[in-house]
Amino acid sequence: MKDQYRVVVIGGGVVGASVLYHLAKFGWTDVALVERNVLTAGSSWHAAGGIHALNADPNMAALQAYTIDLLSEVEAESGIDIGLHMTGGITVACDPNRWEWLQGAHRTFQTIGIDDCHLMTPDEIKEKCPIMDTKGVIGGLWADREGYVDTTGTVHAYARAAKKRGADIIEHNKVEELHWKGDHWQVVTEKGTIKAEHVVNAGGLWAKQCGRMVGLDLPVSPLSHHYFLTETIPALEQIDFEVPMTVDLEGFTYMRQDKKGILVGIYELNHQHWMMDGAPWNYGIELLQEDTDRIENELMMAFDRYPALNDVGISDWVNGAFTFSPDGNPLVGPVESVPNYWLACGVMAGFLQGGGVGKTLAEWMIHGDTETDAWSMDIARYGPHQSNREYIKQTTGQFYSRRFVMTYPNEQLPAGRPLRMAPAHDAMTEAGARWGCSWGLETPLYFAPKDFVETPSLNRSDAAPFVEAECKAVREAAGLLDITGFSRFEVYGPGAEAWLDKIFATKLPKAGRSRLAVMLSPEGKLKGDLTLFNWGDGTWWIMGSYYLRQWHKRWFADHEGPNMILRDISDDVCGFSVAGPNAKAILQAIQPDLTLPFMGCGTFDLGLLRCKVGRLSVTGEHGYEIHCRANEHIALRRMLLEAGADHGLKEVGFNALLSLRIEKSYGIWSAEFTQDRTAAMTGMDRWVDWQKPDFIGRDAAMKDRDAGPSQVLVTLGLESPDADCAGYEPVWSEGERIGFTTSGAYGYTVGQSIAMAMVDPKYAEPGTDLTVHVVGKERQAKVLAPSPYDPDGAAMRG
């Protein structure tokens, strides 16, 4: 063991080994993996080893597809047999809604380039998997690239391939302490102290303890998971092929062949946490006692689905612990509060996602950015308020128990809620608010009668009439929206303006004005579509999405300038927006002297409150954003409702805002705008000040602009009477896939389903006829000119 490395990776499971391999592969060879026991000890050795490219999250599906492609490469490079069996796989559906979801998922997978999948009939399923009883099965989804690996062999293959590239593997050496010394880490181990520039927490079951060594309480928890292996099944001896991997969604089980028997794994509804504060340090190549009583119902369904189980014995039970995050996705990336400390943990499907996690983290460390959008697994999607033990227990348990339970786009899940609430939350609830959740904050979706219960659906919600009424109010009178769910950063100091001019590609607004502000990475990719306010007194506000607070805060800290102070004031400031033809009259009923030009901003006394007001709105109507202190939120709401009573003011939610903004072709983050797209691709280049001599990403953005984007953002009108796009539906031209949707909604003002989409520029001309699959059904679509509602912007500027 050397006493100094560029990177020390803590943890010798499949994820740690993959990180080490990718660091060495991409050029950082002075790296070491430190494992307290032996490689695979913890979760990796007893994992079922299943691999499949399909995932409901398109970004995670792409990550898994990369891992599958990598496995044979690592096997060849290492010379170690990883036991790769590519059997193909089938996901079966017995519920009509699930079958509808599978049909839509099939099209989503086509969008991201997974073309080796197709829908199956029950007879086709039976032919591929003769030991399955297909009674009650409506259909299935086949995927070529599914199978399984030998887990121990795979970890050792990653490790040997890394060693061949110069990396070190150090086993039987527990990391005991971590100390940041200002320019390096002091990694205290049983065998001595190592100096390292970077540390990676790939601790698996011990990730919690490795986080606490540096003051972090990570949102992860182990849960126990069962699978069993059978003795030889005679029917499998009679066929000359391996049966495919199968997932029985309604039965909560997965199955694969094991020699001439099968392995059956269970995601039971009655989940069980294990060692929430992290596994004991002396735990290693061990298992938990099986608990068949707890999984009895799921076992019975498995025996019904695979009748051969009734005639053979069970040779082995495996009940082992795996680490889960609240949403089931990995925790990857840098931590804003701890320099040069990186996460690669919470990977509950390590053999399926480990390759992609290793690649992503290595790119991040070496190049400062990732090739693809890493948001789905970025640690910044969680904040300190989501490391509460009860929050973790509820949310990880909910994810585990719903692993094979269908979640609808309009379904709100209860775990970890309510956590954060705006001061006027109870009053809005009394007024009929139905709530969604953004980064732990309750946000109003729509308002409805108290006895209304929304039906979960893949199609247009039965809450549509309430959303339509809210849209109508905004277009014809005025709507009141709680805007607590936005982030607000305050910037001031002698160097504030220079820093803002550097970090934003946009021309800065003059005093008393606001502006849409584009932020780019050094590679010219999008890093934010924010709003910048210049209050005219040396103070600036950056306003953005509430759930991106930690992500933007990390970016700001990484690019901090001299002589400036940045404060996250999001929890101190709340507010409401008022939008619609009567918005001005409502505010002037409170403060007759309140006049602002379009995109103007200033400080005004509204009744007893002193508020910051900006004249802007993403609804496409004349509108204002009114910001107050958190303890004034209730009073502001009352005052605005009283002033608007004679002007048709109606409380509205974010579902209405989605419809209103898409009628204006306004994009939003995580849909139209993502960190793997450029300004030119998304039309955000019109906000870039190309005359500025220096801003982050300028050279790369100019190069991309001059070369011309490979895809551009367009607005589509669809003939879809009962459903709307959710994003990642394929867009076709005469059978050729030429793009994909980014988001969609019904435009109640224009009377049409609308979607936004990234398409090949050849098909971007308004009037171009295309088709789009919506919930699996092909619908006619036409490219629309931008802003189907009020294209000249007269309502907004008037």
Backbone dihedral region of 629: left (phi > 0), alpha (psi from -120 to 50 degrees) or beta?
A: beta
Find tokens 């960190």 and name the residue.
675
The contacts of residue 680 (CB under 8 Å, 6+ apart) are 701, 704, 705, 708, 709
Q: What is the pLDDT of residue 57?
A: 79
Sheet holding 565-568, edge to edge: 513-520, 526-534, 540-545, 486-492, 565-568
Give the whole-angstrom CA distance, residue 740 versus residue 731.
5
Report the Cα 780 to chain-centroid distance in Å.
Answer: 29
Give the whole-angstrom CA distance, residue 91 versus residue 651.
43
Residue 680 phi/psi, 5-degree rounding, is: -65, -35
In terms of C-beta distances under 8 Å and separation of at least 24 residues, what long-range contacts does 301-305 make, across chains too? Answer: 301/248, 301/250, 301/251, 301/252, 301/253, 302/248, 302/251, 302/253, 302/255, 302/264, 302/266, 304/133, 304/251, 305/132, 305/133, 305/248, 305/251, 305/253
Do the strands 526-534 and 540-545 form a parallel or antiparallel pair, or are they unpaired?
A: antiparallel
Nearest to 335 by CA among 207, 160, 476: 207
Give the whole-angstrom CA distance, residue 621 versus residue 794.
8
No. of H helices and E strands in the chain? 20, 37
Helix (H, G, I), strand (E, B) or coil at 261: strand
Residue 305 per-residue DSSP state: H
Domains defined for the chain, CATH in brackets: 4-324 (3.30.9.10), 425-478 (no CATH), 486-646 (3.30.1360.120), 697-797 (2.40.30.110)
* Other C-beta atoms lying within 10 Å of the C-beta of residue 671: 17
Q: Which two tokens stand for residue 726?
A: 């959710």
Q: Which two tokens stand for residue 381?
A: 């999607």
Give the whole-angstrom CA distance, residue 283 versus residue 552.
38
Give the whole-angstrom CA distance, residue 753 versus residue 743.
11
Q: Do residues 375 and 526 touch, judged by C-beta distance below 8 A?
A: no
Amino acid sitting at position 619: T
Nearest to 716 by CA among 795, 663, 777, 673: 663
Sheet holding 261-266, edge to edge: 117-120, 139-143, 89-93, 245-248, 253-258, 261-266, 221-230, 314-324
The contacts of residue 300 (CB under 8 Å, 6+ apart) are none
Do the strands 736-747 and 253-258 form a parallel or antiparallel pair, or are they unpaired?
A: unpaired
* Other C-beta atoms lying within 10 Å of the C-beta of residue 642: 14
Mean pLDDT per block of 10 residues along the chain (798 residues) reads 96 98 98 98 96 81 90 97 97 95 92 90 98 97 95 98 98 98 97 98 98 97 97 96 96 96 97 95 94 96 97 97 96 96 96 96 95 94 96 98 94 97 98 98 98 97 98 98 98 98 98 98 96 98 97 96 97 98 98 96 98 97 98 98 98 98 97 96 96 96 94 98 96 97 98 98 98 97 98 93
Amino acid sitting at position 277: D
Residue 273 per-residue DSSP state: B
* Other C-beta atoms lying within 10 Å of the C-beta of residue 659: 24
Nearest to 13 by CA among 200, 229, 146: 200
Report the Cα 373 to chain-centroid distance in Å.
Answer: 9
Helix (H, G, I), strand (E, B) or coil at 428: helix
CA angle 730, 735, 736 (to 5 degrees): 65
Q: Do residues 369 and 522 touch, judged by C-beta distance below 8 A?
A: yes
Give the whole-angstrom CA distance, residue 652 versus residue 444.
8
Do the strands 185-189 and 192-201 form a parallel or antiparallel pair, or are they unpaired?
A: antiparallel
Backbone Cα Rg of the chain = 27
Q: Which two tokens stand for residue 420?
A: 């954060």
Q: Do residues 491 and 541 touch, judged by C-beta distance below 8 A?
A: yes
